[in-house]
Structure 1
Amino acid sequence: MAPELSVRVHLTHTGVVETLPLEEYVTGVLAAEMPAEFELEALKAQAIAARTFIIRRLAAGDTSGVPALDADVTDTVAHQAYLSKQDLEQWVLSGKSEQLAKLERAVQETSGLIMTYQGQPITASFFSASGGYTENSEEYWTTQIPYLRSVPSPWEATIDPGFKETVTLPISEMFGKLGLRVPARSASTSVEQETRTMNKLFKILSVTTGHKVKDISIGGKVFTGREVREKLKLRSSQFTLALDGENVNITTYGYGHGVGMSQWGANGMAKEGYTCTQILKHYYTGISFRQASHILKS
């Protein structure tokens, strides 16, 4: 019997490389990436996505973004977040044995299973929560990927406590972060006139298939929704803007880049009785499932 595949993880805070069996690595990712309180089928879907991610890297010999020559991946969201064996030992010591056992069950019940497209491991991107629809890959990145298509994801609106959030920024701060000058104000105009004039500074020009801001004009300059999200550190590029005196209220919907599987959406689907493979087939268009051993020979 061939030895079990192992993964070498560069631990950012210590610089140590932790080498462990594939399924233990997937457990560590699951612990870092999805709340243990989520439904078992959602956790199983996340386990398959996490396993697919690392198998794709290993199959391609991809060590991009890894500072250590003797590691395959880091423990950060630059790849996928991961809790070390020591971190999980602390779970046990702090009374979280039951949660850990649930994660281990999700990994065990999907052991070796990965997602493929045309026989190859997919780019299993995932994010926290959509604002109602996921995003086409080329509308966030530049590459059109056939299995990363925009699909409806209505479940978050009813179960995700952070689905809709409003942040308030002074206009001067917002414009400064966008590299813009704050427009001059006239002392002779009324507050209502001033508000109407200032609100014209914000105009959404186009939206993506996933209902996120594609292009927006702010102060006469055009930005992509992604640029605004990143410069203002917003939860999502699905947002609205409204002036409130000297401030701007920015309301966001969902959390994350929006491409691939929505974790809160997966949890909502699981609550409705969908299985992990049904969840994954919803979020990744036209994919199949295979055992990792068919892709990588240990």
Structure 2
Amino acid sequence: MLRFFVLTGFIFPALVFSQQMRIGVLRDYSVQQIVFDYSDGSYNVFGDTTLYATLLPSEFADLSVTNENRISLKIGVKEVAVVSKVVLVATRLNQSLIYATKSPVTRERKYKDDVEITVQNGALTIVNLVDINNYLSGVVESEGGGGREIEYYKVQALMSRTYALKYKNRHQKEGFDLCDRTHCQAYHNQLRLNPMIDSAVMKTEGMVMVDQNNDLVDAYFHANCGGQTSEPDYVWNNKIPYLSTFKDTFCIYTKQATWEKRIPQTEWMEYLVTTFHYPVNDSVLGPMIYTFNQPDRYAFYQYPWLGIPLRDIREHFNLKSTFFNCYPEGTDVVLRGRGYGHGVGLCQEGAMKMAKYGFNYVQIALYYFPGVKVVNYPEQQYFNQRPKIAEID
């Protein structure tokens, strides 16, 4: 008897990135009614498992929540079914639909590929079923805007791809991979303005950042670090070996490098005393309550042993960053700050300036993430697999 041995368990690298992402969109709203309008190409409309219509030019599907927490499906103005799930499936690749919410009324959005709608907690859950490259193009535009250098778009695509793949199960219990909010990644439209973004996504296709153990890194980014990045544990209480604070001079003269805010002294004192028991009657610390200097990034207000995290102050007063000095003036506390965002990882405005100076996307990535590697993820996954040997009689 002849026996043949074949290797199993391998996935062809080219197949890995032809994957579909499930992105929860319009997550800032409790959507009760939405209309899907024709944009380009036709869409088949399924209610549960039944095909009810094919959307063509000038046609639309109107979905709303019923009193029984199901979906009323209308094609045009005619109700055709009450179902548990609606799926609109593009008849060809890269088609798009217009998403127009009617309750509440919000700005129209346009997304490529398919969409699935269910009801959860009395509202519509809307999930864009989108090719990862189409998703990343939308993210890069939402995060970076138009008019940038292609090397910035490439590094943003690298960051966003790494982040998406590392956290793709963040909303698994809700029925999708990631959402459209900034705590995942902003994703507010399909690519609209700049074909250079599509090009950047395709030219970096499959590229991600990994640490020394070949694990995907935490690809954090923010708008502006104010001239110094932040230690991760200042924000999230845990250290990340490949991320540590350093001076960044690329962003200090950019749009969001500085800010100022005035807060009434009574409001400032009430928060610090009520929340953290600031020793306002102490002869030394009391007079210091309105005065704070931060030549380098700190984690705590005044002294660590007082236990007042700057991140809590930022959140409570809706500040652009934790990187600020303050002083009393009249009846206010004047805060003069630097940067916009948490300050950890890649500084977007710094990266934009580096791209203008001629740095390529890998150089930019390694400047903000020293010690990591930029690799082709499908190839790495392919060669890291341990093949199983199967016997064939």
Both proteins in one fold, TM over 0.5? yes
> What amino acid is the match of 2:201?
V
The alpha-carbon deviation at position 204 of structure 1 amounts to 4.2
Q: Which has the higher contact order (CA 8 A, sep 6+)?
A: 1
1:158-195 Cα deviation digits (max 9, x unpaired):
2x2221111111112223444549999xxxxxxxxxxx
Percent identity over paired residues: 25
The Cα offsets for residues 247-271 of structure 1, whole Å up to 9 and x where unpaired, read as 1110110011111000001011111
TM-score if structure 1 supplies the norm length?
A: 0.80
CA shift for structure 1 position 214 = 2.2
SS in 1 for 2:252: helix
Which of 75, 79, 83 pairs up with 2:184?
79
Q: 2:148 aligns with which of 38, 45, 48?
A: 38
Higher deviation after alignment, 228-237 or 172-181: 172-181
How much has 1:38 moved relative to structure 2? 2.2
Query: Does 2:371 align with 1:275?
Result: no
User: Counterpart in 2 of 1:103?
Assistant: 197
**Could you say if the C-alpha distance between residues 73 and 46 of structure 1 is closer, same or farther in structure 2, counting changes exceeding 3 Å?**
same
Residue from 209, 218, 228 that aligns with 1:133: 228
Question: Counterparts of 1:119-130 in structure 2 under 5 Å?
Answer: 119-130=214-225
Q: CA offsets, 1:236-291, max 9 Å, x none?
A: 11101111111111011001111100000101111111111000000012111122
Q: Quick one: distance in 2 between partners of 1:217 and 1:152?
A: 22
Cα distance in 2 for residues equivalent to 1:80 and 1:233:
20
Gap change, CA 1:66 and 1:240, over 3 Å in 2: farther
1:64 aligns with 2:177: no
Structure 2 Cα separation of the partners of residues 199 and 239 of structure 1: 19
Determine which structure has the larger helix proportion and give its number.
1
The residue that corresponds to 1:201 in the other structure is 289
Structure 2 residue identity aligned to 1:216 = Y
Task: Note the residue ranges of structure 1 that are not aligned, 5 or more in a row.
Answer: 185-196
Q: Do 1:151 and 1:282's aligned partners in 2 also have CA atoms closer than 8 Å?
A: no
- The one of 152, 170, 188 equivalent to 2:264 is 170
1:1-298 aligned within 5 A = 2=15, 4-11=18-25, 12=27, 13=29, 15-58=125-168, 63-65=169-171, 68-69=174-175, 71-85=176-190, 88=191, 91=192, 96=193, 99=194, 101-118=195-212, 119-158=214-253, 160-178=254-272, 180=274, 200-202=288-290, 204=292, 211-217=296-302, 222-294=307-379
Give the strand-richer structure, 1 or 2. 2
Q: Distance in 1 between matches of 2:173 and 2:338?
A: 35
> Which residue number corresponds to residue 93 of structure 2?
none
Is the Cα–Cα contact under 8 Å of residues 204 and 213 in structure 1 kept in the other structure? Answer: no
Task: Quote the offset at 1:113 in angstroms.
Answer: 0.7
Deviations along 1:41-93, one digit per CA (max 9) or x if unpaired, are: 111111100000111124xxxx2345622x111111121111244xx4xx3xx
Q: 1:296 to 1:26 in 2, by over 3 A?
A: farther
Looking at structure 1, the residues matched to 330 and 159 of structure 2 have their Cα atoms a distance apart, in angstroms, of 45
Cα offset, 1:147, TM superposition: 1.2
* Superimposed CA distance per residue, residues 110-156 of structure 1 (whole angstroms, 9 cap, x where no aligned partner): 11111111211111000010121112222322222111122221111
Partner AA of 1:294 in structure 2? E
- Computed over aligned residues only, the root mean square deviation of the Cα atoms, in angstroms, reads 2.9
Cα distance in 1 between the residues matched to 2:174 and 2:307:
40
Q: Which amino acid aligns with 2:208?
A: I
User: Structure 2: how far apart are the matches of 1:252 and 1:56?
Assistant: 32
Aligned partner of 1:194 in structure 2 is none
Distance 1:67 1:179, change over 3 A: farther
Q: Secondary structure of 1:36's partner? A: coil
C-alpha change, 1:66 and 1:234, in structure 2 (3 Å) is farther
Q: Which runs of 5+ in 2 are unaligned?
A: 1-13, 32-124, 383-393
Q: CA deviation at 1:296?
A: 5.3
Residues 131, 238 of structure 1: 8 Å contact kept: yes
1:199 deviates by: 5.5
* In structure 1, distance between residues paired with 2:321 and 2:287: 21
